[in-house]
Chain A
Amino acid sequence: MKTTDTPPADTTGERPPVAKTAPPAAPREKTTGRTLNVFSHGFLILWAFMVAMPLLWAVMTSFKTDKEIFSSPWSLPETLHFDNWSRAWTSANMSDYFLNTIIVVGFSLLGTMLLGSMAAYVLARFEFPGNRFIYFLFIGGMSFPIILALVPLFYVMQNLSLLNTLPGLILVYIGYSLPFTVFFMTSFFRTLPTSVAEAAFVDGASHTRTFFQVMLPMAKPGLISITIFNFLGQWNQYLLPTVLNTEPENKVLTQGLVQLAVSQGYKGDWSGLFAGLVMAMLPVLAAYIVFQRQVVQGLTAGALK
């Protein structure tokens, strides 16, 4: 797959004489190249417009008054109403939703990465009876429809008094993030050289110490990719909190916004709602623009495997 770096060197040497021997083809190709260029730019710009427009529209709308939103949805706001933002942050509880999301995602990300790489390490590097079975038990979870498990899970949580609590939600996030994390990290640990770990072990380090001080640092690139993947998945999660976390003060960002849309619909505070929506949108978009390369790598790593 990495061979792309070498062939161009050969082809640049070969290409000019070939082009000379086939002169009639050259001008025709030049014109088709140009039409294609205009054609492709046209479609590409159109789609870029269709993707960016709704987002820009939301940002613009968040600065308008309610009256402006209804009378002229497409015009620019006359003055920038920053009060929509402060109103959403304080009186519409956006600050609480943010805090809850940060707590839940923070702890479950930590738990997912720790437990996921522990399990993956053992499954990748040690032979023991049941290894394959446990591995397939984990990765089988990737293709099951979550909603099927949610009905009994609701009552499992209720019996454990974990329903509508943040720790409960954290444990469930960890559980449902494990299949992909284990799947990805297992294949990653397999690619790491064994000699370093063996040397550490011979030097007297325990298995646990070898794992934390040698293997985990070596697995950093894989850990970063999969952390980003899990971060976005857990930050954006909607189905799990909707079913398992209905206590008003425990709501996370996504369900809080949907709740807000319903209640503000009655109150008619559309500008505040749009401010809340943009507020929730901006952190991930900003993080994506800054860490673009890692985000794309993290998200596509799974699909390419």
Chain B
Amino acid sequence: MQHGKYRFIVGFLTAPLAIYGLFVIWPFIQSIYYSFTDWSGLSPEFKMVGFKNYTRLWDDEVFWKSLQHSVMLVVLLPLVTLTMALFFAFMLNVGGRRRKNAAIAGVRGSAFYKVVYFFPQVLSIAIVALLFQFAYNPNSGAINSFLKAIGLDSVQPDWLGDPDLALWCIFAVLVWCTVGFFVVLFSAGMASIPKDYYEAALLDGASRITTFFKITLPLLWDTVQSGWAYVGILALGAESFAVVQIMTVGPGGPDYSTTVLPLYVYQKAFRDGQAAYATTIGVALLFVTLLFVAVVMKLGRRERLEY
């Protein structure tokens, strides 16, 4: 296999590396460099300013608000999404009526549930955000008219217009579109756990809740951990950007109550013409992301269980 090996390797790697290097790696390196300049992005001239952008970041109230919201999403979104997904997946696989010769069984129609739950995952986040923007509309939106229809005329929140509620509305949309994927993923994992583990535990008098914490969760832990990292990156990245940018007034409002780090980067770079400062916020976002991944790896580390 040696003949012409290096020519082949070079031939096959050049094009992918060129595209990847030019459009992904090079901009990343540049962005860190630009964060030490005063570049506006509008003209080619700029000069080095040292840590000036970073000290400005320190005093920037909007930055701290964005950071706070992003951190809130990265902590709560995986927690809520994965807990709900584990709950539903466990119900799908173990919640069924007892049948002959089987201690545990999946519910009837579990295939149907899995198909429906997965719907949001194949839709674009932009479509989902637009749809919920209408649903949240305070005057003629689906949610408030529904509340009216069931006799709750007095409860007509201004969902996305209320600074105390807006971020939670965003949060709910992100949960809505992420849960289904993990129900299917965890369900596949649970289905591969040998049934006799459950039988033995149930015979020993364990409740189903105990079997979940003693059998299901430990055996599924690796999948939960990668899911945790995945949802967290999503909460810090493109998904939260799209939802906030499309759904909220401002965007990021009302009164900066929904702004998140990726949105703030976007606004500084492409609305305010402060490219260098935008990359500085981006570097902060990079740190938050890496810190989050490190925490997940550290906290999630357990002894590997195999079966």
A residues contacting B by CB (< 8 A) are 1-4, 7-8, 10-12, 15-16, 18, 22, 25, 29-30, 32-34, 36-37, 39-41, 43-44, 47-48, 50-52, 54-55, 57-58, 61, 69-74, 115-116, 118-119, 121-122, 126, 128, 134, 137-138, 141, 143-156, 171-172, 174-176, 178-179, 182, 198, 201, 206-208, 211, 232, 235-239, 242-243, 253-255, 257-258, 261, 274, 277, 280-281, 284-285, 287-289, 292, 295-296, 299-300, 303-305
Contacts and interface: CB of A to CB of B under 8 A. Distances in A.
A152 B1 contact: no
B238 A153 contact: no
18 contacts: A7-B194, A25-B203, A40-B96, A43-B88, A51-B120, A74-B145, A122-B9, A128-B9, A141-B24, A149-B28, A151-B269, A151-B278, A175-B23, A178-B19, A254-B127, A281-B127, A295-B118, A300-B188
Contact of A51 (B117, B184, B208): B117
A255 to B, nearest CB: 7
Q: How many residues of B sit at the interface, in one of the four size bands?
A: 35 or more
Contacts of B126: 236, 238, 254-255, 257-258
A52 B116 contact: yes
The binding surface of chain B is classed by DSSP as helix
B257 interface: no
Contact of A115 (B16, B27, B28, B270): B16
The residue among A25, A207, A257 with the most chain B CB atoms within 10 A of its own CB is A207
B149 A143 contact: no
Contact of A41 (B9, B95, B149): B95
Nearest to B223: A304
B152 interface: no
A175 B20 contact: yes
Given A33-B98, A47-B88, A122-B9, A54 B131 contact: yes
Interface string B263-300: 00110011000010011001101100110010000000
Contacts of B188: 300, 304
Interface in B238-271: 238, 241-242, 245-246, 262, 265-266, 269-270
B101 A16 contact: yes
Contacts of B121: 299
A121 B115 CA distance: 34
The residue among A52, A152, A174 with the most chain B CB atoms within 10 A of its own CB is A152
Contacts of B8: 122, 126, 206-208
The binding surface of chain A is classed by DSSP as helix
Give the top 7 A-B pairs by smallest Cβ distance, nearest first: A40-B95, A148-B282, A236-B124, A175-B23, A40-B91, A254-B126, A152-B30
Contacts, number: 308
A156 B199 contact: no
B6 interface: yes
B22 interface: yes
B203 A288 contact: no
A292 B184 CA distance: 12
A242 B179 CA distance: 26
Given A145-B286, A289-B115, A295-B122, A153 B27 contact: yes
Nearest to A262: B246
B279 A151 contact: yes
Nearest to B44: A155
B169 interface: no
B113 A44 contact: yes
A69 to B, nearest CB: 7
Contacts of B282: 145, 147-148, 151
Given A145-B286, A238-B238, A11 B195 contact: yes
